[in-house]
Structure 1
Amino acid sequence: MSESHPHSSWRRWVVLAAALAGIAVTASLGRWQLGRAAQKEALQAAIDSRSRLPAVMLNETSRPSDADPALLHRPVMLHGHWVEQHTVFLDNRQMNGRPGFYVVTPLQLSGRSDAVLVQRGWAPRDVQDRTRLPKVPTPAGDVRLEGRIAPPPAKLYEFDGTASGPIRQNLDLASYEQEIGTSLWPVSVVQTAVANGGPDDGLLREWPAPAVDVHKHYGYAFQWFAMSALMAGLYVWFQLLRPRLRGAR
């Protein structure tokens, strides 16, 4: 009977190590989800705060060399003309749970040589023909826009990063700048109103807030912490309490 003691002791140490590792990993994942939730809430707070600042007159502002954090998420007013031939339809974007495109067009600023990338809105995708482009009216001449300054369009995962043509998965600002031969701002403008208050262009502009899914991260955090507590409870029951109860009996 004494020969089994070393094996039993070794097994207990393995179980302890596995339990501690599992508890540490799940607790770490729970903290990471809480951190993600805090980041999104802080970003939303910054957006809400900067949205109350006076609008930036983009045509009167010098183009920065990089994305100035002080400009991001502020309201903006600008005017110029659309460079319609360089419109890009970013695929696999959703709005209100529907798949479609983000319509992105450079706007050449009036009286200047530089342009800014405008995220004009969302258009639905043709479910029968994925290559069919939605018809988006693009007025000619000088247009005036209202929106907010934002980072360049967010990128989705793709296998081939060399896409070209009007339909693309992602848009790299530096490569796109060389492609169109025009200096672009290192930020984009998310359009919030129809140009010049003119007729509806059919695009949706119900842009999602960064913290709109913050409850998801809290839910994931609860699941990870619950799993961590479950592993700790199972270890205490099967390795500590249950053997003592058996011995007492």
Structure 2
Amino acid sequence: MLSLVGSGVAAPGVIFEAGVFHMFIQTEFMKSGGRCEHVVSDNGFDWTLLGSAIDALPGTDEDGIYDPHPALIGGKRYIVYSGMPRFTKVPQPDIYLARSQSDSWFGPWKRVGKILDHADLPHHNSREHPDYEWGIEGAQLVELPGGRILLNATCFLPEGPRGSRQRVFFALAEQVEGPYRTVGPVLDPGEPGENGHSTVVIEGNRLALFYQSRRAATGHRWRYGVAKCDLARQAWSNVA
């Protein structure tokens, strides 16, 4: 058992390189504070805690941090994560980035800053909405064939009843620091429901998306799904 301390230990992001699994995992998400802890394994089952890669910064726009995910972009190593200011009712996270100063997964990690804000997404609920639901979270960065950067994350639509707003969305950038241009939600539930918290895997020009979904017809129980597309056929992947 790992001696991770926190009320929200969950949402691991894992990458495998040079025979080692590197996992970055949150300790909080519903309150201030939190750390992105770094744990390693050589077999995927037995893990060793190395310590915190990134800590929350009290009293700043990163008063709470969670949802870390490692990314290898252009040969450099990054962690993308959600950061939020202190809140009174509902967390309002945006997307942040940190880069390894040693070009290894062992850090130390330098904050690059915010790379995506609520205001950048017209399909996301605004902070001023009277029935604001949640912020941007569950981010992942992937390098596309040709070198462009795909950001895969979760948003919440501006309108509609709760339990129907959460969506997987994509955004694109020419470099990892941004700016990112959203292409909007990419999965239609097909019936009342929602989807989110997905992972992209790319092989050649094929993209596979593994995601969570909830549908009214199944009592809004969480289910898992897979969606696939050919990048060469996607207009959004070829537009500058």
Scaled by the length of structure 1, the TM-score of the pair is 0.25
Which has the larger Rg?
1
Judging by fraction of residues, say which structure has more helix. 1
Structure with more strand by fraction: 2
